[in-house]
Amino acid sequence: MSAALHVVGHPFAPLGMGTHMRVAVRALDAARVPAAVVDVYGHDRRRDAGLEAEFAPRLTDGLSPRLNLFCINADEVEPVLARLDAAAFASAYNIIYPAWELSKYPEPWARLVERFDEVWAPSAFVRDSIAGSVSIPVQHMPLSVEPRLGSFLGRRRFGIPEDAFTIFFSFDFSSWAQRKNPGAVLEAFEKLVARRPNAALHCIIKLKGGDPDHPVRRALAARVAALGGRAQLMTEPLSDDEMGNLMRNVDAFVSLQRSEGFGFGMAEAMALGRVAVATGYAGNMDFMTPETSRPVDYTLIPVGPDDYPHPQGQVWADPDVDHAVRILEALVDDPAEVRRVGAAARRRMRLEFSHRAGGLRYAARLEEISARL
C-alpha cells in the first residue's frame, strides 16, 4: 500500500501499545487520512482473524521518506530503528507517540525520544511529563475510544447474577500490579459488602498475564474465594467483542490505580455508558469529570524503589478507598443516577473521544506539518 503517512508499531500484538496503534490508525481512517502500516516485529497475525482482515491489506515493508508516526515507547526506539531504513528515517518527519505513567519522564528515554521531530502525547498528563524533559515539540493528542461489539451477550454468559449491582476491574500483569493496585478494588468491595450485607452485590476481577503462582495473583484469588458467590476472578482469554460485552453487563468500572498514561479501561466503560469510579489522577482526567464519572480522592506518595521503572524522585496516587466505598454505596442506592451518569459518559466520549474526533485532531496537525515540509 502506498501512502504519504506510515504508522509504525505492533498492529497485531495483544498489548497495550498494540491497542494504542490500532486506535490511532482507526482515527486516521475516520478522518480520511490515508496511512500505511509497518509491523516492525512481524507478530503472528493468525491469532486474530479480525485484525488480519483489517490491517494486513495495508501493510508496507518500510518507512515513508516523507512522514512517519511511531506508536512505540522510548525503550523500543533503538531496536525498532535498527530494523528500518536509516536513510528513510533521516529524510522524513518522524513523530513518536509513546505511553508513560509517571509525572517525570526518564532522562535516558528523553534522549532517545529526541531522535524524532516531535512527540504526540496520549493525554495532558503525559504531555506535561515529557515536555519538561525534551527540546522538541510535544503535542497533546488524546487517544480515541470506540468499543467494537459484533454480538450481544447477556449476564448469563459471564456468570453475573441478573439482579446484582456489579463492579468490574481488569488489568494485565505486564502493566505492573503495583501501579494497577487491584487489591484496593477488592478492599473497597469488601467494605461495601460489610456496610450492605443484604444488598445484591457482585465483583469481577479480570486479569491476564503473569505467573499463576505470583504472590499478588495468589492473594487476589484467596480474597475473591473468601467472598464466595459475591465475587469472581476471571482469567480466561476474551476477544475484544467479549470484553466489550462483559463491560456492557456491569454497572461500574472501578479502578483504584496509582497512575495512568491514558486509562483505556475507564474510557471504554464510559463509551459503553457505564460509570467509571477511578482515582482522580493522571491521564484518565482527560475524559473523567464529576458530571460524567466518579473520580476518587487521593494523596500523592513516593513510588517505591521496586514498584515501577525509573522510580527515583517519582510520586503517584494513593487512592482513598473509603471515599470509593461511599461513592459505590451512593450508586447502589440510586439506580437512576447510575443511568444518568452512564448516559452523560457515553455522550462525552462520542463527542470528544470518538475515532472521528481523534482523527480530526490528527489531521489538523498533519496538515500543519505538511505545509512546512
Cell of 39: 509491523
Any idea where the domains of the chain sit in the sequence? 5-143+354-372, 155-352
Q: Look up the CATH number of domain 5-143+354-372.
A: 3.40.50.11930
Cα–Cα distance, 38 to 63 (Å, whole number): 7
Which of the following CATH numbers is that of domain 155-352: 3.40.50.9100, 3.40.50.300, 3.30.565.10, 3.40.50.2000? 3.40.50.2000
Span 233-290, pLDDT tens digits: 999 888 888 999 999 999 999 999 999 999 999 999 999 999 999 999 999 999 999 9
pLDDT per residue as tens, the chain (373 positions)? 457 899 999 999 888 899 999 999 999 999 999 999 999 988 666 567 788 889 999 999 899 999 999 999 999 999 999 999 999 999 999 999 999 999 999 999 999 999 999 999 999 999 999 999 999 999 999 999 999 888 899 999 999 999 999 999 998 877 788 999 999 999 999 999 999 999 999 999 999 877 788 888 888 899 999 999 999 999 988 888 899 999 999 999 999 999 999 999 999 999 999 999 999 999 999 999 999 999 999 999 999 999 999 999 999 999 999 999 999 999 999 999 999 999 999 999 999 999 999 999 999 999 999 998 8
The DSSP element (H or E) to which 6 belongs, if any, is strand 5-9
Provide the 8-state DSSP code for 62: S
Rounded-to-integer distance, Cα 17 and Cα 76, Å: 11
Distances (CA, A) of 4 to 13, 32, 33, 69, 338: 24, 13, 9, 11, 46
- Give the residue from 19, 28, 40, 29 showing the smallest Cα distance to 89: 40
For residue 251, the SS3 value is coil
Q: Is 121 exposed, middle or buried (0-12, 13-18, 19+ CB in 10 A)?
A: buried
* Other Cβ atoms closer than 10 A to 87: 10
Q: Cβ atoms within 10 A of the Cβ of 326, count?
A: 18
Place of cell 482469567: 235
Q: CATH topology of 5-143+354-372 equal to that of 155-352?
A: yes
The type of residue at 49 is A
> What cell numbers appear for 231 in the block?
465475587
AA letter at 361: R
pLDDT at 47: 64
Residue 13, φ and ψ in degrees, nearest 5: -80, 135
Query: Residue 32: left (phi > 0), alpha (psi -120 to 50), or beta?
Result: left
**How do 5-9 and 252-255 pair as beta strands?**
unpaired
The cell for 298 is: 487521593
Measure CA of the first residue to CA of the last residue in the chain; give whole Å: 22
Look at residues 178, 238, 176, 241 and name the one whose alpha carbon lies nearest to residue 204.
238
Q: What angle do CA 358, 363, 366 make, to 5 degrees?
A: 130
Are 24 and 69 a contacting pair, CB within 8 Å? yes
Q: Which residues pair with 105 in a beta bridge?
A: none
The number of residues in the chain equals: 373
Q: Which of 17, 31, 14, 13 minimizes the C-alpha distance to 5?
A: 31
Do 174 and 216 touch, CB atoms closer than 8 A?
A: no
- Separation between Cα atoms, residue 79 and residue 84, nearest integer Å: 9
How many C-alpha atoms does 9 have within 13 Å on its Cβ side? 31
